[in-house]
Structures are given as C-alpha cells and as structure tokens.
Chains A and B, each alone.
Chain A
Amino acid sequence: MAEVSPTELDPEVWVDEHGDALYSYALSRLNNPASAEDVVQETLLAALKSGKSFSGRSSARTWLIGILRHKIVDLIRKESREQPHEEIETAESPEEEFFDRKGRWGIKPVEWQVNPGKILEQKEFMAVLFQCMEHLPDRLHRLFVLRELEDQDSDFVCKELGITPTNLWVMLHRARMRLRGCLTENWFGANE
C-alpha cells in the first residue's frame, strides 16, 4: 500500500477515469444502457469496499474489468431467470434465409478475404462486429455473450440459463448464422 495517493481513492476520480471504459465494456455485453450503468456502479462500489489501491491507472483498469465481468455474468443470469423461457421461437431462426427447402445453400457462402488477426486492429471492424451482435434477439444475445465473449463452457451456460444442451446448440448456431450474415453484408461484402 506504499504508493497510495489521495486521488486514487477518490471515487469521483474513479468515475472520471474509468467510468466510460467500464460502461463501454458493459454495454457491449448487456445491450441495455440502464443495465450497463447499474453494473458499472456495482463494480465501482465493490472496488471501493475492497479498499484496494493501485499505483498505475492501467492495472486499476484491468482489475476493475475483472470485477465487472463477474457482475455481468451475474446480471445475465438474473435477467434470463426473470424472463421465462418458452420454446425456441422460430422467429429467431435465420436458416430459412440461407437455405432452400431441400436444405441446399440458397445464399451461398463466399470466402472472407481477410486475416482475422489484422482486422481487429481496425476500430471500424470492431464497431461493426459489436453492432452485429447488438442485433441478435435478447435471448440469443445473452447466451452468445456468455459462451463467446465471456468464454463460459456449454455446461455452465445451460445451467445458468436453464436450457438443455440441445437448445443451446441450436441457438448458438442461429446466433452464428446471423452474425456471419451480418458481417458478410456490412463488412466483408461492403469492402469488396
């Protein structure tokens, strides 16, 4: 605790220094400004209570994001419990768009001409990627975030969201189909 300076423990400074970053992170996972604001507040409260402090801004940021991630997973779990899950709605299925009645490709996949490692350096690509995710229906969005962005395994997601593995696989497939379509349309296709 040697390098504590008074400003670092000042909550006002915390909000100014990290608020926007935490909010951006939360919004990208929760798709809902009010929920995102709530978890940012909870995160900073938890941080404050822990009494921990940091000499550097970036280590503080990483630590705060760590707390935030737990809060986000908790909130997603809570939200999905509050919204009772019905049968998988066919409205969530993008498959009809891509396949004909015989199960053959209607809209044929075209190779993406990019190195996925490189495109991430482009801010514009990130914006499109997150926008495409935003357009997923709520239920798909929640489980997709848990599985792909928060890297939770299938068992965990099934348990937390109260769904069967078969449903999970179907819904992840739908989410991926939608994202693939959205990225093709708004990034890879548009860049040709």
Chain B
Amino acid sequence: MRTCKEISKLVSESLDRELPLRERMAMRLHLMMCSLCRTYSHQMRQLRSVLKKASDVETPTEQTLSEEARLRIKQALKKEE
C-alpha cells in the first residue's frame, strides 16, 4: 500500500504524462479508499483548469510601466524607425 505522500506525487505526475499501468492502478485504488487524496486530486484538476483560463487572460494583473521605462522604450523604438 502506498502512502498519501507517494500518491500525491503520482496525481501530479498524471497531469504531465500518462502513468505506467502499475502506477495508474495503484493511484486509482488508493483514491477509491482515501478521501483526503481524492480531495487533493480534485484540487489538482481545479488548479489546472484555473491556470488554463488564467493563461488566456491578456492582462492578468494591472501593472504600469514606470515613466523611465516608458521613455526608454519610446526612444528605442524611435531609433528603429
């Protein structure tokens, strides 16, 4: 029987690759019996879906260029013109 710590790692790994059959079975079996790891696994999927959506947002947080940076960039662009 694998520990919750080991299972949590497999759950994450399953987001990055197809697990070998043995690992997949071990994970499924554990998740059937362990509600804590089930919650964790659900959160991992929620996290993935939240990030997927966040990655499409064009202005994730509102930041502003400093005046110096703005000026520097304008000058660099003018040189290119």
**Which residues of A are in contact with B by a Cβ distance under 8 Å?**
11-12, 14-16, 19-21, 23-25, 27-28, 37, 40-41, 44-45, 48-49, 61-62, 65, 95, 98-99, 102-105, 108-112, 116-117, 119-120, 126-127, 129-130, 147-151, 154, 165, 168-170, 172-173, 176-177, 179-180, 183
Beyond known contacts A23-B64, A41-B73, A180-B43: 8 more, CB 8 A cutoff: A20-B65, A24-B63, A25-B60, A28-B60, A61-B58, A119-B50, A130-B54, A176-B15
The residue from A62, A151, A173 contacting B9, defined by CB atoms under 8 A apart: A173
* Known A-B contacts A14-B77, A41-B76, A109-B39; A130 and B70 likewise in contact (beta carbons under 8 Å): no
Min C-beta distance of B78 to chain A, whole Å: 6
Residues of B in contact with A, size category: 35 or more
Say whether A20 contacts B63, CB under 8 Å: yes
| Inter-chain contact B46/A130, CB cutoff 8 Å | no
CB–CB B40/A109 < 8 A = yes
Q: Can you name the residue of chain A whose Cβ is closest to the Cβ of B14?
A: A169
A23→B63 contact, CB < 8 A:
yes
B60 touches A40 (CB 8 A): no
Residues of B bordering A, CB below 8 Å: 3-6, 8-9, 12-13, 15-17, 36-37, 39-40, 42-44, 46-55, 57-66, 69-70, 72-74, 76-78, 80-81
Interface of A is mostly: helix
Contact present for B77 and A169 (CB under 8 Å): no
With the chains together, A129 CA to B60 CA distance in Å? Answer: 10
